[in-house]
C-alpha cells in the first residue's frame, strides 16, 4: 500500500481513508449474511492534504493525522481504487469525529 500513496496525494483539505472491514460474526458467534451487514462508518486515515486556505490566505491545517481512526458520514466521499484496494476521499469538514485511544 505504501507505493500507491507515493502516486496519489490529496490536495487542500482532502483526507484519504480506508474503511474498516464489516463485522461478519456477532459477539455470540452467529454469522451475519452480507446483505444484512450495515454500512461501515469507521475508517483509518491513510493520507491527508496540506490544508485549505482561509480568508486571510493562511493555510488551515487538516484536523486529522495519518493512522487515526475516524467516523464518516453515512453518505458522501469519492471512491478511489489504488492497487486493487478501495479508498475514499472526504473533505476534512465532512469527517464527523475521530476515535481516541
CATH at 47: 2.30.33.40
> Is 5 inside any structural domain?
no
- Beta bridge partners, 43, equal 19, 70
The conformational region for residue 42 under phi > 0 = left, psi -120 to 50 = alpha, else beta, is: beta
2 located within any domain: no
pTM of this structure = 0.75
| Residue 41 domain boundaries | 14-98
Say if 68 falls within a structural domain. yes
pLDDT tens-digit readout, 24-77: 666 777 776 666 556 678 888 988 888 888 888 888 888 888 889 998 888 888
Number of domains making up the chain: 1
Amino acid at each position: 500500500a505504501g507505493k500507491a500513496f507515493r502516486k496519489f496525494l490529496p490536495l487542500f483539505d482532502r483526507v484519504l481513508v480506508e474503511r474498516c472491514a464489516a463485522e461478519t460474526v456477532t459477539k455470540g458467534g452467529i454469522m451475519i449474511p452480507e446483505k444484512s451487514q450495515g454500512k461501515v462508518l469507521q475508517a483509518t486515515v491513510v493520507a491527508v492534504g496540506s490544508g485549505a486556505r482561509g480568508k486571510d490566505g493562511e493555510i488551515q491545517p487538516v484536523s486529522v493525522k495519518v493512522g487515526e481512526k475516524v467516523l464518516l458520514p453515512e453518505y458522501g466521499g469519492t471512491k478511489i481504487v489504488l492497487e486493487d484496494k478501495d479508498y475514499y476521499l472526504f473533505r476534512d469538514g465532512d469527517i464527523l469525529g475521530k476515535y481516541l485511544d
